[in-house]
Structure 1
Amino acid sequence: MATKVILTETIDTLGIIGAEATVADGYARNYLLPRGKAVLATPQNKKILEQQKARFELQIAKEREQAEELAKKVQEISCTLMAKVSQEERLYGSITAQDILEALKGQEVTIEKRMLLLAAPIKELGTYKVPVRLYKDVEPEITVEVKAEAKEGEE
């Protein structure tokens, strides 16, 4: 069965604040409703929501503005990862989203793993653009450069 709810805050996987969503009963009953992230989509709640629509629109604009400001910072970020390579310049193993997050720790922007849209682990040397989803339709790219580690005996 499914339950119709109205979101009281933006949830990446469901939608923005004020949107109506159909979710599994257990998800609504055990997670969304107890945490105040959504209310049941009843006629009474819809009327209340209409009255609060202006406040929601302000919040959406504010969230989007914050995401766009962060996007400007994120776009300037680049990181260099050193990896062991074989004779054919292929990596031993691969560079994953977690490796990129570790390399970004020293920078002033906090990015969560779920925000990195790395389609597949990086397996070759080179420079890559990795998109970061900060908000719906706000996806700047960070530059990730993968270089070979110096082999023993070389400098």
Structure 2
Amino acid sequence: MEIILKQDIKSLGEKDDIVNVKPGYGRNYLIPQGFGELATPSAKKVLAENLKQAAFKQDKIKKDAEGIAERLTEVKLTIGAKAGETGKIFGAVNTIMIAEALKQKGFDVDRRRITFETEPKFVGEYVANLNLHKEVKVKVPFEVVAE
């Protein structure tokens, strides 16, 4: 029995895969739980069209991310933080601060897509990794200065 999966199932396959399962497993578990649907010829045509449209959207998102990445290579951020005499920062410089600094420069990047190579604990220069797309990653240098 052929089933089109509606979501990822660990031991079976990923979303939109067409898999062969035993009839009882498909009829009594996958279809009633909403994890899959019967792979009829019309459902396969709909799936093919949906995959084609999704690929087009993903390609556009990737091109937009590459354009942003190209512009981000020239950006250097300065983050102000309260620091002691030794240069140790009180509190922390976090991804929210980096996202706000990028927004002021005209780049709208979600804070969850930002990571640090090393956590900024002292005044100095650091690098933030921006994951704009699963295939597009950018390193943005930033400097932490004492206020």
TM-score, normalising length from structure 2? 0.66
Amino acid corresponding to residue 57 of structure 1 in structure 2: A
Report whether the alignment pairs 1:20 with 2:15: yes
Partner of 1:90: 88
Q: Which residues of structure 1 form unaligned runs of 5+?
A: 8-18, 22-38, 150-155
Partner of 1:128: 126
1:122 deviates by 1.7
1:123 deviates by 0.9
1:76 deviates by 2.1
- Larger mean CA deviation between 128-137 and 99-108 belongs to 99-108
Aligned in 2, Cα 1:101/1:61: closer, same or farther, shift over 3 Å?
closer
Tell me, in whole angstroms, the C-alpha distance in 2 between the residues paired with 1:46 and 1:121.
Answer: 48
Check whether the contact 2:6–2:15 (CA below 8 A) recurs between aligned residues.
Answer: yes
1:120 deviates by 6.5
Identity of aligned residues (%): 24
Work out which of the two has the higher radius of gyration on C-alpha atoms and give 1 or 2.
2
Q: Cα RMSD between the aligned structures?
A: 2.8
Check whether the contact 1:97–1:121 (CA below 8 A) recurs between aligned residues.
Answer: no
1:121 deviates by 4.5
Instruction: Report the number of matched residues.
Output: 119
